[in-house]
Structure 1
Amino acid sequence: MNTKEPQSSVYEVGPHGSDMYHGQVPVAASTQGQSYIERSGPMILKGYRHILDPWTTVKWEFPNFYRKPSLGYHKLAQHRHRDVFDREWVGDYDDRYISSWDGKVSKLVVQAVDDIYDNNTGSTYRRTFIRNIAPLYLRLANWPFNHIDYSKNGGKPTSEDYPMLCLKWFVTSCVISFVISSPSPAETASRNGGNYDQVPYQYFGYPKVARNVLEMDRSRGHDPSQTNPVAERVLRPRYLCFLREQGEPAMIMNVEEWITQYKSERNLSYVFIAYTAEQFQSTEDLRVLHQISDAAARNAGVMAYWVGCSCMPDTDQLQEDVYRICDVIRGAQSLAIAVGRPPNDVRGISTADLMLQQWGRRIWTFPEVLLAPAGKDIKIYMRGSDLTTPLLVAKNQFAAKVWKDDARVARQLIDHYEGNMILSQLELVTLALECLHKRETTQYLPGDHSYALMGLLRIRPKIDPTDTAFQAFARLSLANGSDQLLERLICVLPKDPNQPWHSMDDAYHAKLWDILPQDVGIAGVGEDDSIILDGCRAANVRWKSFTPVAYTRRQSWKRAISETMLRLGGFVLLLAIILLIIPFTFVIGVILLIYSLILMGLSPWLLRLLYLGKFWDQQCWFFGFEGYMDIDTIERQIFGGKLGRMKWTASASPLSRHHRNEHGECIGDDPTSDPAVAALVQKAKTAGPGDQRIFTLVDTGNMTATLFLAERPPVCFLMAGSEGGMKRIIGCSYDWTTATMYRETVLRLETKFEDKMARVGRVKIGFKRLQHPFGPSAQIGEAIGQEVK
C-alpha cells in the first residue's frame, strides 16, 4: 500500500457509510489533498455586496445585515429563561445562545458561505454573510495575490497570473505610499487573557435524582434520608412449589410459613425453572409446564422448584417480585429450561434448538443463564420428550449454541460469572447493555432493559414507574458508580445521528473504557432525559462573524527595517519633490525620488514582510460558519491573505483526513479531498430541520480548521473527557426554554489547550434534542419576546 495516500482518520463519514453518497465510494484524490469540489480560480466571497440582495435585512445591532429564516417554530406557549445575572427573558420558542459578552440569551445568527446564504430554504435561525475582517494593511499587501489559485502549479503563480499581478501591484504600491505611508500597528488587544470566551451559564433547576440529599426537592415527598432509594436483596424466594408424592401436583406455599411449619430451613433447595410465555400460555400449557418442573426438581434431588407463573401470586408485590427474580436465580441449586413449540407457530419452530433459540431471544431469559450456578450444566426439557433424560448444555457453551447473534459478546459475560475472566464493572455494564438491547420484550415499564441489567449488579435502586428508559439506567449507574459510565457516554459521538442513547457505537471507533472523564462528575439526573454534569471546561463559539485576532510575534531586524522604510516612504517622496524644485538640490532630489519610487514598488512586499511570520502565541477563539471554504479562503477572511499559518486538523472530526509525507509526518488534508465528504458538502447546502448540516470550526488557538456534521450549530463546546492523547469536546446547542445543552457533535482537541478554557458550573446536558414543530415563517411570523426583569 502506498503510505503517502490520503488516510481517513474515521471511516464512517455519515450515518449509513457509503450508501448515503449514492454509490460513491471514497477513494484517494487524483492530486494529494486536492478538493473534489470544482471551482474556477480561488474562492471569492461576495461579502458586503450581499447588502444589495433583496432578501438582506438591516438592523441596528451587529451583525447589521442578515437574512431572516425561512422556517419558524410554532408558537405553542410562552417560555421563560433566567440567566446567570438573574435577568429573565420571556418569549416564543426560537434558536438562541448565551452571549459571552453580556450573558444574555440572544438570537442565534450564523455566518454562512454564499451558496448557503443565498439558498435559505431550510433554516430556522438567522443567517448572515461572511465578512473579511483582516486589517486594512494586510488586505492591501495581499490584494495583488488574491486572484491566484494556489491549488494549481504547486502553489505558485502561473504565466497567466502575472499580467494581473503586475497591474494590481502597481495600484497597491500607490495606495500604500500615499494613503498608508505611516502605518499604525495592525495588532488588536487580547481578550480574556488570551483564553477562549467563557460560557456564562448557570442551571437553577432541581434534578430528579441528586447525588446529595440536600439538593432534592423536599416538596415532592422524597425520603429525606435517600436520594436514590435502594431495593433490598431477598435471601430466599417468597413462594416455592414443594414436591409431594409422585403424580400429585406440587404444593405452592409461602417459604417462611413452610420453614415455620416443617422446621427444615437447612435442607431448603430448589430448581429455578426458566421458560417464556411465547411457548407456554394457556391453562393446559401451564399444566404441562408444572409437569416438566416437577420432573426437573426430582431429577435434581431437591424438594421444590420455582416457576414464575405460580410463585408470584401477590398482585400487590408483583412488580417488586418481577425485578427481584435475579436473587431467586442466585439462590437456586440449578437452572432448568422448559421449551415447547409455540401455540401460534409461524416460523416453523419444531426442533429443540429452534425452541431454545426463541427462548434465548427474550430479554428476561438472558440474566437467568448468566446468574445460574457456576460450574453446572444447564438442563433443557422439551415438551413431549422423555423428561428423565434432558438435554445438557454446558454453561460456557450456551452462547455459541443459543445466542448466535451476539455469541462473542455474551460469552465474555458468561466467563465473567463463571470466574474465568473477570470484567471491570464498566466492561460488564457496557457489554450487558449491548446484549440486552438486542433482545425482545413485552414492555411492562419503560425502564425494563435497565431493570433487567439491574439484576446483574450489586446495588439495585427501587423501581420507579415514572422513570423513562434513560432515567432508569441513569439511576442504576449512579447507584453503582459504574466507573463513571454516564460521564464517558456523553463523550461518545454516535455513528448514526438517530442512534439511541444506550448505543456505545462511537464514530471514532473508541470503546467506552478508552474515554477517560476529564475531572467531571454527575451531580444528578434531570427531570427529562438529561444529566447534570459538573466540572466541565467550556468555551463559546462565535457564529455571527470573525473578529480580529490578537497575537504575539518576536521582533526581528527585517521587520524593524521594513517598518522604518514604510513609515519614511511618504516623507522621502515629499522631500524629493521639494528638493527638485530648489535649484541647488536638484541632484539630491532626483536620488531621493528614485529611492522613493523603488520604495513605492517594494511597499507591498515590505508590508507583507512586516506582518508575515509565525505567531508565538495568539488569542484563542472558536469561530464557526456554516458550509465549507478552503483553508486559503478562511485565512484570507481572518488574516488578510494566504500566509501558511492555518491548517486542516488531521483527526479532530470524523470528516478529518490526513496522509503521511515523505518524512513520515502526519499532515492534515482538505476533508473534501475525499469524494464522500465532498458529496456531503454539496448535499448539506439544501439541508432542512432534522438533517445533518456541514459546519466549520476555526480554532485560532492552534490555528486549525475542522469540518464536521451536526443538526444544529453548536453554540459552545464542553471539555468532558480525553481519549487517544486528545481531549473530547462536546459541541452543544442550547434549548433556552429548559436551560439544557444538547449534544450535537463531539470533536477532539489537543491537550495543551485545556488550560485555555475556563470551568463552568453544573451543566444540564441532553443526549438528543427533539425537533420542535415548525412551519413557513411567512405564516407563523418571527418569534417575539422581552426582558421582564
Structure 2
Amino acid sequence: MKAEVCVKEDQAPASAEIAQYRGKGTKYVNQTTGQTYVRVRKGPTRLKGYAHLFDAHASWKWFFPNVYRKPAYGYEKLGQHRHRDILTREWVGDYDDRYISACDGKISKLVVQAVDEIYDNYPNSTWRRTFIRNISPLFLRIANWPFNHVDYSNGGPNSEDYPLIIAKWFAASIAIAFVVGSPWATAEGQSRNEGKYDPFPYMYYGYPKVARNMLENETLQGYRLNETHPVAERILRPRFLCFLTEEGRPANLMNVEEWINQYDKSGRNLSYLFVAYTQEQFPDEDQYNRELHEIADAAARNAGVTAYWIGNSCMPEPHNLTEDIYRICDVIRGAHSLVIAVRRPPTDIHGTLNTTDLMLQQWGNRVWTFPEVLLSPAGKDIRVYTHGEDLLSPTLVAKNQFAAKVWTTDAHVARQLIDHYEGNLILNQLELVTLALECLQKRRTQLWFPGDHAYALMGLLRIRPKIDPSDTAFQAFARLSLANDSNQLLERLICMHPKDPNQDWHCMDDGYGSQLWDILPQEVNVAGIGNDDTILLDGCRAANVRWKSFSPVAYKRIKSWKRWLAEQMLRTMGYVLLLSLVFLIFYKPVGYVLLVYSLALIALGPWLIHMLYLGKFWGTQGWFFGFEGHMDIETIERQIFGARLGRMQWSINASPLSRHYRNAQDECVGEDPTNDPAIAQLVENAKRALPGQQRIFTIVDTGTMTATLIQAARPPVCFIVAAAEGGMQRAIGCSYDWTTQTLYRETVMRLPTTVLDQMSRVTRVKIGFKREMNSYGPMGQVGEAVGKRVE
C-alpha cells in the first residue's frame, strides 16, 4: 500500500471524489510543470519482513544476511583479478560486484536490501538482494502493534477499529510485561566511531600516469626528474614564411631566420599575414593549393605586409610537423592580421553552400579555426576572401561581431571569449577554460591524436605541456589543467552531478543547475592522473554506505521526570506483580492493592513505552543506510526506530529528485518525491532496469535524520565529500571496481556542512567519471563468480 497518493485536480474521475480528496489532503504544486495535485495520506507500507524466509527463491548462507536472492545476471569470466586491501591482504577471483567492509576492510560480495516488490518480482541485478528487516526494538514494535491495522486515509481510527485495538492492546500489554525485562529490552544502538559515520578503509597502491609531484612518478631507466612535466616552448616567430616577390610571381618560401640574416638583421620590418582556411574547402591538391596561394598573395599585398603564413606550405619539415601544428597559436599571436580564405567545398555537389556567409559558417565549424579567430590581433577587422570573387574587395567582419555572424550555434558563449581577448570583458582562468572547452567540443576535426580538442584549447593558455600521443582526450585535458592551475577545474568537475547519465566527461551540464565556478573544493586537490581516464584525489572525507540491512542507531535525548517515571514504572511492573502475589498469601489487603496497581501498570504498558521514547533526538549515530526502491518515510522510520514519531524527514534539496513545498507557516518542508508524478514514474520504470541502466535507490542518513531518493546505475558503496556549493557539501556517491581499485562516480548528493565533523579523512582515492558496463549474461550461462584469499 502506498503511503501517499497524488491526484490531479483537473483529471479526477468525479467532482465528489475531488471534494473528498480536498477535505482530507493538502494541495501540492509541481515545481516544474506548475500542475496542482492533492496529497492524500494512506498510512505506512506493510512489508513482509521475515516471511521472506519461506520464499521459494530464497538462498541461504552462513554469514549475515543469511537469506538472500541470487541475481539474474552475472559477469562473463574473462580472467582472474587481484585486489589488495588496506591491510595488504590479497583476494583473487572473478569479476563481480563488491564493496569494502567498514568492519574489517575486506572486499565482500555486495548484498542490497530491496523493497518487497523489487525483491519478489524483478531479479534483474548483478548483485545479490535481500529483504528489508525491521531492526527496531521488539517492545517498541509490540507497543505500536495495536494500531498497525488502522487505515489513515480517514484521518485516524474509527468506531470499527476500536474493538480490535482494545483486543490487541490487551495482548500487547501482557507481552510488554515480559519483554521489558528481557536482554533485548533496549532501544538504543551501540555508539561507534565516536558517533561518526563508518569510515571507508580504502588504499590505492598503483602509479599514476602523471603525478603532480615528480617524486611520485615511476622511475624508469634514463628518466630525469626535470622532465616530469615537460613544457612546450613558445616560438617568437614562425619557422617558415611565404615572402612576396614581384607581382604575378609566386611567393618565395624561406626560413625566417635566414631571411632576417639576409634582408633585415634587426627583424623590425618583418610583418606577415596569417591565412586561415580549412582542408574541407581547400583539399591538399595542386589545383586548390594554387587557388589558396593566389588568395593569400592578394591579401598580403592588400595589407601591405612582406609575407604570409599558410599551413599547407609553411610547415615543410616532417620531423617538426607535430610541434609546428600545435604551435600555430604562437604564429597567429605574432601576425599582422588575420584573413580567411573560403570557397565552395568540392564535396558540395548540390551547391547548397553558395554564399560567402554559408562558406564561412562551415569554416567556423572546425576545431582549429576557433582559436585562430580568438587569438587574431585585437581591434582589427577580419578580412574574408572568397574564391572566384573580386580579391580587391574582401568581406570585412568585425571581430566583435564574428560570433553572431559565423558561430551561430553557440554565439552567446563564443562572444564572451572574443570579448575576453579583445579586452572588453576579462574572464578568470576557470571561466576561460570552461567556456572554451564547451565551444571546442561542439566543433569537428579530423583527429591527429585523441587529445586534439585539448591541444586546441592549449593554444589559448599560458603553459602548454608537450604533446603525448598516448594521451586519451581526458588525459590530455587533465594534464593541461594541472599545468595551468585552472582554479582546481578537475576537482570541481568531478563534483558535478551529470544532468544526463550518458553525457561525456567534458559536458558541464549540472543536475543541480550550478556552474563550475559555483563549486568550491574544500582542502581537496588532484594529486595525479590515472592511466584509465581517472584522477587521484587527495584530502577528501568519506563514509561507507551500509546496503545489506539497517542497524540499531545510538542517539541522545534530554532526560525528563516524565521519562524517568515511565521507565521506573515499566521496570518495576513485574516485581510489583510478584510482590502482590506474596502479600496475597500473608496480608491480602496490601496484596489486592499491589495487584491492582501492577495490573494497571501492565495495561498502561504501550502508553508508557510511548511516553518513554517520545521526543526529539539531540544527537544520533551517523549511518548511511541504503536500499533499492522507494518506501514512504513512515515505513522507513518504523523499520529503524520502531514508530513514526516525526524524527525522520525527506531531504529538501539533497538530490535532483528531492522535492519540497511551502507550508502554512511559510517554511520550506521536504516531502515524498513520488508526490511528483514524474518521479513516481521514474520509480516505476527503474524496477525493470537492466544492468547498466539507471535505478532508484534511497539513502537514509541518520546523522541528519533524512531520507533521500537518488538515481544511479549501481549502488554507491561510499560517499566522498570533495567540495562545497550553495551552502552545502557535495558528496560523490561511488561504486567500487575492485579489479582496478577505482571508485566511479554514480551520483552526487548535497549534504549539510555539519556532516564534515562526523566524517573521517580517507587516503588518496582513484576516482573515475563514468564506469563502463562489463560484459554480462544470464547467471545460468556465466555462473557465479568465485575467488579466494591469498595468504
State the TM-score, normalizing by the size of structure 1.
Answer: 0.94
Quote the residue 2:566 is aligned against.
562
Does the CA contact (< 8 Å) of 1:182 and 1:566 recur in 2? no
Deviation at 1:200, TM superposition (A): 0.7
Aligned CA-pair RMSD: 1.7
SS across alignment from 1:321: helix
Structure 1 distance, partners of 2:126, 2:323, is 47
Task: Give the 5 Å matches for 1:700-711.
Answer: 700-711=702-713
Is 1:292 the counterpart of 2:300 in the alignment?
no
Q: 1:347 to 1:766 in 2, by over 3 A?
A: farther
Q: How does 1:251-650 map to 2 (within 5 A)?
A: 251-264=252-265, 265-281=267-283, 282-345=285-348, 346=350, 348-582=352-586, 585-650=587-652
Read off the aligned partner of 2:403 and give its amino acid letter. A
Mapped to 1, the partners of 2:180 and 2:304 lie a distance apart of: 102
| Distance in 2, Cα, partners of 1:139 & 1:335 | 80
Compare 609-618 and 451-460 and name the one that shifted more: 609-618
Residues 533 and 764, structure 1, Cα contact 8 Å, conserved in 2: yes
Matched, 1:720 2:707: no
**Residue in 1 aligned with 2:12?**
none
Match of 1:124 in 2: 126
Alignment of 1:85 with 2:100, yes or no, is no
Whether the 8 Å contact between 2:620 and 2:702 is mirrored in structure 1 is yes
- 2:182 & 2:391 partners in 1: Cα distance? 103
- Shift of the alpha carbon at 1:336? 0.2
Tell me if 1:167 matches 2:167.
Answer: yes
Write the distance in 2 (CA, Å) between the matches of 1:44 and 1:119. 17
- Structure 1 equivalent of residue 754 of structure 2: 752
Q: Secondary structure at the match of 2:220?
A: helix
Residue 256 of structure 1: how far off its partner (Å): 1.2
Matched, 1:176 2:166: no
Please tell me whether residue 689 in structure 1 is matched to residue 691 in structure 2. yes
Aligned-pair distance for 1:566?
1.2
Q: Output the CA distance in 1 between the equivalents of 2:30 and 2:483.
A: 40
Q: Give 1:579 deviation, angstroms.
A: 3.5
- 1:254 CA drift (Å): 1.1
Residue 162 to residue 732, structure 1, CA distance change in 2 (3 Å): same
With 477-486 and 596-605 compared, the bigger mean Cα shift is at 596-605
**Aligned mates of 1:569, 1:723 — CA distance in 2:** 54
Amino acid at match of 2:170: F
Inter-partner Cα distance in structure 1 for 2:34 and 2:147: 33
Q: Is the 8 A contact 1:684 1:694 kept in 2?
A: yes
Residue 572 of structure 1 deviates from its aligned partner by 2.2
CA contact (8 A) 1:6 1:657 kept: no
2:205 corresponds in structure 1 to: 204
- State the shift of 1:220 in Å: 6.8
Matched residue SS, 1:398:
helix
Displacement of 1:7 in angstroms is 6.4
Partners of 1:59 and 1:271 lie apart in 2 by: 77
What letter is aligned with 1:258? W
Deviation (angstroms), 1:158: 3.8
Report the Cα distance in structure 2 between the residues aligned to 1:621 and 1:698, rounded to whole angstroms.
8
For residues 102 and 173 of structure 2, the distance between their equivalents in structure 1, rounded to whole angstroms, comes to: 41
2: CA distance between counterparts of 1:88 and 1:26? 55
Report deviation, 1:189: 2.2
Letter in 2 for 1:723: E
CA contact (8 A) 1:100 1:198 kept: yes
Partner AA of 1:161 in structure 2: D
2:234: which partner in 1? 233
Note the alpha carbon deviations across 1:205-249, whole angstroms, 9 max, x for none.
000000111111122755421322110011110110000000000
- Equivalent residue for 1:29? 37
Letter in 2 for 1:473: F
Distance 1:220 1:602, change over 3 A: farther
What does residue 20 of structure 1 align with? none
Q: Which residue of the partner structure matches residue 216 of structure 1? A: 217
1:283-334, Cα deviation, whole Å (9 max, x unpaired)? 2121111010001101110000001011111111111111110000000000
After superposition, the C-alpha distances for 1:698-744 in whole angstroms (9 at most, x for unaligned) are: 00001000000000000000000000000000000000000000000
1:781 aligns with 2:786: no
Instruction: Check whether the contact 2:733–2:745 (CA below 8 A) recurs between aligned residues.
Output: yes
Post-superposition Cα deviations, 1:75-134, rounded to whole Å, max 9, x if no partner, equal 101101111111111111010111110011111111111111112432111111111111
What is the rounded CA distance, in whole Å, between the counterparts of 2:165 and 2:316 in structure 1?
A: 91
Distance 1:131 1:121 in 2: 19
Whole-Å separation in 2 of the counterparts to 1:450 and 1:182: 68
- Structure 1 distance, partners of 2:660, 2:36, is 11
TM alignment of 1:88-103, pairs within 5 A:
88-103=90-105
For 2:430 and 2:223, the matched residues in 1 are separated by 29
Please show how residues 140-151 of structure 1 align to structure 2 within 5 Å. 140-150=142-152
Deviation track 1:374-415 (CA, whole Å, cap 9, x = no partner) reads 000000111111111111111000001111110000000000
Amino-acid identity (%): 66
Which range moved further: 116-125 or 241-250? 116-125
- Residues 1:7 and 1:317: Cα distance change in structure 2 (over 3 Å): farther
Query: What residue identity is the alignment partner of 1:538?
Result: A
- Between 1:114-123 and 1:85-94, the stretch displaced more is 114-123
Instruction: Tell me what 1:16 maps to.
Output: none
Partner SS, residue 29 of structure 1:
strand
Task: Decide whether the 8 Å contact of 2:628 with 2:698 is kept in 1.
Answer: yes
Find the residue that maps to 2:506 and give its secondary structure.
coil
8 A contact 1:146–1:641 mirrored in 2 = no
Paired with 2:591 and 2:111, the residues of 1 have a C-alpha distance of: 56
Seen in structure 2, the aligned counterparts of structure 1 residues 245 and 483 have a Cα distance that, compared at 3 Å, is same
TM-score normalised to the size of structure 2?
0.94
User: Matched residue of 2:709: which SS?
Assistant: strand
Compute the displacement of 1:571 (Å): 2.3
> What is the CA-CA distance between 1:753 and the residue it aligns to?
1.4
Q: Separation in 2 of the partners of 1:466 and 1:528?
A: 11
Aligned partners of 2:182, 2:548: CA distance in 1, in Å?
Answer: 32
Is 1:218–1:224's contact at 8 Å kept on the other side of the alignment?
A: no
User: Alpha-carbon deviations, 1:599-630, whole Å to 9, x = none?
Assistant: 22211000111122111111000000111010
Distance in 1, matches of 2:351 and 2:436, equals 28
Amino acid at match of 1:480: N
Q: Which residue of 1 aligns with 2:14?
A: none
Distance in 2, Cα, partners of 1:178 & 1:587: 26
User: Which string of whole-angstrom CA distances, capped at 9 and with x for unpartnered residues, describes residues 331-388 of structure 1?
Assistant: 0000000111111114600001101111111111000000000000000111111111
Deviation (angstroms), 1:174: 1.3
Question: Is the 2:271–2:305 contact (alpha carbons within 8 Å) kept by the matching residues of 1?
Answer: yes
Is the CA contact 1:543–1:625 (under 8 Å) kept in the aligned structure 2? yes
Report the AA paired with residue 542 of structure 1: R
Aligned equivalents of 1:59 and 1:634: distance in 2?
A: 26
How many angstroms does 1:161 deviate by? Answer: 3.4
